[in-house]
A and B are shown apart, each in its own frame.
Chain A
Amino acid sequence: MTQEPILAIDSLSISFDTRRAEIPAVMDFSVSVQPGEAMGLVGESGCGKSTVALGIMRDLGRNGRIAGGTIRFKGRDMAEMSEAELRRIRGNEIAMIYQEPMASLNPAMKVGRQLMEVPMIHEGVTAEEARARALKMLDDVKLPDPARILDSYPHQLSGGQQQRIVIAMALMSKPALLILDEPTTALDVTVEAAIVELIRDLGRKYGTAMLFISHNLGLVLETCDRICVMYSGEAVETGTVAEVFDTMRHPYTQALFRAIPLPGADKTARPLQAIPGNFPLPHQRPPGCNFGPRCSYFEAGRCDAQAIPMQDVRPGHATRCLRAEEIDWTAEPEAEAETEARTPGKVVLSVEKLKKYYEAGANALFGGETQVVKANEALTFEARESETLAIVGESGCGKSTLAKMLMGLETATEGRILLDGREIQDLPVADRDGGLLGDLQMVFQNPFDTLNPSIPVGRQIIRALELFGYGASDAERRERMLTLLDLVKLPRDFAERMPRQLSGGQKQRVGIARAFAGGARIVVADEPVSALDVSVQAAVTDLLMEIQKREKTTLIFISHDLSLVRYLADRVLVMYLGHVVELGTVEEVFAPPYHPYTEALLSAVPIADTSVEKERIVLEGELPSATNPPPGCPFQTRCRWKAQVAGDRCATELPEMRRFGAHQIRCHLAPEVLTDMPPVLRHAAD
């Protein structure tokens, strides 16, 4: 590649001045992006990815400044450009797409106007011309019915559609470089898959160079040509995606891959390996190698002696590790003591034809038209002692409603929930006794929300113990609280801390301790790790499984991350629009026969493994609304197998559960068709 790069960043340093100290957010960062190339930037949150992007845009806010290095755009040093020139480049030649689509859209302006403004302002074309271009662009980003969408306001569109509009808007000015900062993190997997596919196709079609920022290695594999791994403000490894994924030469990259569940990962044979320790804050970086304190190859006296420079392993593949040549990169991680598999015991929880309809839309004072939201339709399943049952599905499919009914936060419209044979579906949480409350507990998704910010950590656990009627005296409860902190591997003096003094992973541990406080029989974990960084996810997941095993708890694990589900669950329940569409063991659900929706879900999950080949199935259309679900099969509006069912049965008749032993699939397709489906994931070697 002798072409001149679109973007060349050389030893860039960026600092933020705060009142307390100067924070070096990015140090000695170099990267280049060739025309038409997609460059991936990965790393944990806070490592400086967004700061690099904002530095390129020269949009660092009042307290940020470029402390050193150069950024060249098309060969010209951006530091030497005038304000006017920078403004022209920012709107026109470099476009940026953020995680939150609404950050880039004006809520008070129709989508059409916002799109048309771009060429009208930058190129001075007429309104008709601009409208024609906008229509064409909407077609390019695969939005159905572009004319109607041009006439809508942003809030009338779904999150996925909004993000498509933002991409269309960015491409309207035909930029030479597109910067995408976690563009799909706020979206569902299936929507994410569609957007990623779109980004990749458009990149090819328009030849736009891209800088793709993400914390998800799988996504980078699917979209990018080259990758740059960042750690604590520095680039630690750069190279082509294939090279970095298959022959990584930095211990941090290796640790990242060992911390995420890959399709082959088995919870008993190869447990996830968390990266020990914590991410250093920018002003507390260790001397020498930033990764030193957490690196298993650390060598005192060498790694902490001086700053480590970036070195080439091969042309085009560089790493910031002194020992890259010495480490045996093929060595398997030391397998931890083989943990024996759990054997599920007797049935603890059974749910029969459970149904929940919400009434919405009526005005409390004056009445009015009520609408019925059909959140759950006739759910039937069982969960056994020491079993992990995963519930997967897109947001809005009714997972959380189910969790709320189990917890008693909502009562059922119809059907039964039996806990040890006792009916609890009509027992709101206010009427439950301490024992029952302690038996059924929940771990929440958002670590920043799960603890009350105004109450010390220990006090919050003690309060739960009080309500579960645990212990006779305050001293006894306090003792139990301390052992609970031990259980979740937090130091005992955390009891006195306020939640804001804890990191996300630590807060989630407290949340787990609180859930297990009353010796819970059933714990519902609603996306407990999805908001955590990969390196922390592994540790929290393993902790959850360990406690579950010890306490013989039934874990109901709600998640959209199918890789994780495959890693930790025993059985999987797939939901779509309030229905159970598939139920079976992990092995059954992750191999044919599939329900057509499960097949699409599996295909949507980004997998960070170059040896896995995926069948691409992109779901067209939007998730139907739960107030107005389609007749017949709930999935019929998006199903690619529909044509294989004779007659119009998919559109008229709700399919019965088809049984393959204990494995159940709600679909009209003939059993042979289902069993003959090709597998979605294949190892290249097979």
Chain B
Amino acid sequence: MSEQQNFKVTIDNITIEVPAGTTILNAARMIGGEVTPPAMCYYSKLEGSGGKCRTCLVEVSKGSEKDPRPMPKLVASCRTTVMDGMEVKNITSEKVLDARKGVVEMLLINHPLDCPICDQAGECHLQDLSYEHGASGTRYEFDRRTFEKEDIGDYISLHMTRCILCYRCVYTADQLTNKREHGILDRGDHAEISTLLGKSLDNEFIGNVIDVCPVGALTDKTFRFKNRVWFTKPVDAHRDCPTCSGKVRLWMRGDEVFRVTARKDKWGEVEEWICNDCRFHKKETKDWVIEGPSKIDRHSVISQGHYVNTEKPHVLIDKVIGKQPKLLLDIHKVSDVNRRDVDLSKIEGPAHSDDFKKNQ
């Protein structure tokens, strides 16, 4: 075998060397920060995923050292591998930003926008995406799409109206269970996630579809309406599980375990799959060995109120534009609630705006 070859790729004026075969998206993730395109359907742990949502489109302004011609169309960065000497534009391309805005708009025109009653709110990738790339109003003047409600069992709730058809849950079932029991029926804008004849999903690993779902289409029934995620505190814990790794994240309030999920990395992807038993049945502190507070991105609303173990965002904008941007306002300096010295998790019971004043 020849030695592992490295390719040089430049994304938004930042150059990095990556192993041959790396996708543009993964190369951008290695750089991190703003130059990383948003990915709503790609999931590095799911083979064959990606290419569908089109949020990760980028412009290839130089194909490679050997063939410097630019690519004629924008390409899905999650499914396009880098070539040596390739130059890619993400946030430095007007074309990309315009197309991405279009994609976000398309994802939203039929979305119910029922965030106030959606359990995914606070950790929803579509919320993040619209916040960063969307428009403030809609140009869509028609009724939003609805579906007949389907019950898919005791553990998972399906809200088809929120689904963005990323196919992640389909790949998950294909790759984690030996028999997939749900899939996408019909086609086009009437395509829907469904099970055959209303069968319920009960494979012992099927709960993972909840974690891979970027939106609130698949949520944990045992956590339904129990709490907003940002009022619970994420804690890493493990147990000796005969079925899975037993490494999980508990979402707690005081001593109470509200929800169990897999641990996710900074791209929002599951680190290790967990079984249904850990996820749905082990809801007491005594079931678990607590390791400590989880690392949380400081951008996330979940970091609100408990700054313990938050991660500073990786800011690269100065390198991309070649100078320091002028900061108009640092929200952390003026906000009443976003304060580092207040740790919500130490407060008994629900948090209240008074809690912030008290500590001043």
Do the two chains bind? Answer: no
